[in-house]
Amino acid sequence: MAISESNSNRQELYKRIFISLGLLVVYRIGCHIPIPGVDTVVLAKQMDALSKSAGGSILAIFDMFNGGAFSQATIFALGIMPYISVSIVLQILTLTVPYFERLSKEGESGRKTIGKYTRYGTVVVCAVQAFSICLVLTRASFDNHPLINISNGAFLFMGTIILTTGTMFLLWVGELITDRGIGNGVSLIIMLGIIASMPSAILNIFNRFTLEITTDDPQKIAISTVIILALLFIFMIVAVVFVQQGQRRIPIQQAKRSVGSRVYGGVRSDLPLKVLTANVIPIILASAVMIVPQFLANVEMVKPVFASFSSHSTHAYVLTYMALIIAFTFFFTMLQFNPTEVSENLKKGGYFIPGYRPGKKTADLLDWVMIRLTFAGAIFLALVAEIPLIIQGGFNVDFIIANLFGGTGLLIVVGVGLDLLDKIKSYLVVKNYEGIMQTSNKYSSATENKN
């Protein structure tokens, strides 16, 4: 009986994995279907020229999240990022605006209402972004060849609808993966988009690879550089896993209480505090903010003011970028972790931290511990975000190669991968527990019938 139930659990898990893979394949197919009316030959030449200009790194960042769909102007060019942006805004509102805070505490009905607002907001953001992208495409050309081969009005109308629908379709696919597949569907879509850029980066290394120990040719990558990059890649994965899984466990104990001759409570446990409570959100927001001064650095009217932000390698850009990441890390940690609220919940549950009185003393301890943990996590995020720029300048490689070894992409891929493994393990544990309980109930029923 146990073997039969175990095989059934495995079959259910395989079914969920195959459903997830099938839906992800649909996503990748859509990433290669261009918007009707776009001249793909002219677009490829335009994007190749742009990748070699000052805005090439910005294009690479957008393309990284969308799996190459943005540079090819496909139906999934916007990707899932509009939904992520609106979700972050709604998350801030649930912690700062009383109405949304009440909704978040209303249980399932409140979560459904917030989810509805998130979808409506996503449609609005998608429509604005889609119209802006289509407007830029109608005005773009390469060697006097227009990028659009249909009327501008028809393309603006059709392109806005297609791009908005594409993002909402991806959101629906992500929900299907979450409900019927395995893991968080939206996270898996983002992770697959990032992984999709890896083959082109590896091909780039292969085409420029040379067996020479060192080389002065900027178009070649020496074997020593490849070995160093491979070792750095392994080291970065280990470091990201170590920090993302890092926790500070605060010992807590339940107060004892006597009922008659019996003593209850006294249970010892731990309160885990994560090093990276804010996860990868600070890097995403900092990257979005830094696009503004970099864009203004190319505007003639304000170019002298923002000239120091014209490149990712300038000191002003690097220092400002790192400062924003650290500030956003503290901000989002403060929004997600309230020491006073945690202290009150411990007090209500009858728990206390040995050596500290419940209430303000406990809240002060938790606040001090979180400040130190957040500072360490913020410095780590800032360093990881700058590693692609350091590699790009130090090893003379393209941004698409350098981005494999750090930055937002590596954090997301490792984080989603760890979360996926945890969900698979949890699924198997729950199913095995249900199987044990069903077997136990059947045994109990059979025993009662015999008696």
pLDDT in tens, 419-433: 888 888 877 776 665
| pLDDT above 90 (res 123) | yes
Burial 254-271 (b: 16+ CB within 10 A, else e): beeeeeeeeeeeeeeeeb
Label residue 157 by pLDDT band (50, 70, 90). Answer: very high
| pLDDT above 70 (res 254) | yes
| pLDDT above 70 (res 109) | yes
Structure tokens given for 150: 């249909």
CA angle 219, 221, 224 (to 5 degrees): 155
pLDDT at res. 376? 92
pLDDT at res. 169? 94
- Mean pLDDT computed over 307-325: 79
pLDDT at res. 375? 93
Structure tokens given for 314: 């300038």
Q: What are phi and psi of 244, to 5 degrees?
A: -65, -30
d(CA 4, CA 175): 31
User: Which among 115, 126, 127, 122 is positioned nearest to 86, based on CA atoms?
Assistant: 122
pLDDT at res. 440? 47
- Mean pLDDT computed over 353-363: 86
- Mean pLDDT computed over 395-416: 74
Label residue 199 by pLDDT band (50, 70, 90). Answer: confident
pLDDT at res. 166? 92
SS3 for 358?
coil
d(CA 322, CA 331): 14
Label residue 105 by pLDDT band (50, 70, 90). Answer: confident
- Mean pLDDT computed over 370-375: 92
pLDDT at res. 121? 93
| pLDDT above 50 (res 216) | yes
d(CA 154, CA 38): 12
Please indicate whether residue 243 or residue 284 has the higher confidence score (pLDDT): 243
pLDDT at res. 56? 53
* C-alpha 251, offset from chain centre: 31
The mean pLDDT value of the chain amounts to: 80
Label residue 360 by pLDDT band (50, 70, 90). Answer: confident
- Mean pLDDT computed over 63-92: 82
Q: What percent of the chain has pLDDT over 90?
A: 11
Contact assessment for residue 72 and residue 32, using Cβ atoms and an 8 Å cutoff:
yes
| pLDDT above 80 (res 209) | no
Label residue 280 by pLDDT band (50, 70, 90). Answer: confident
SS3 for 305?
helix
| pLDDT above 90 (res 168) | yes
pLDDT at res. 278? 81
Please indicate whether residue 25 or residue 201 has the higher confidence score (pLDDT): 25
pLDDT at res. 438? 52
Query: Looking at 62-71, 72-81, 410-419, which range is the least confident one?
Result: 62-71
Query: Is the model's pTM score more than 0.75?
Result: yes
Q: What are residue 271's DSSP bridge partners?
A: 250
Label residue 446 by pLDDT band (50, 70, 90). Answer: very low
- Mean pLDDT computed over 107-130: 89
* C-alpha 76, offset from chain centre: 18
pLDDT at res. 25? 92
pLDDT at res. 443? 44
- Name the most confidently modeled range: 179-183, 281-285, 396-400, 443-447: 179-183
Burial of 446 (0-12, 13-18, 19+ CB in 10 A): exposed
pLDDT at res. 368? 92
- Name the most confidently modeled range: 145-154, 163-172, 281-290: 163-172
Q: What are phi and psi of 320, to 5 degrees?
A: -65, -40
- Mean pLDDT computed over 34-57: 73
pLDDT at res. 240? 85
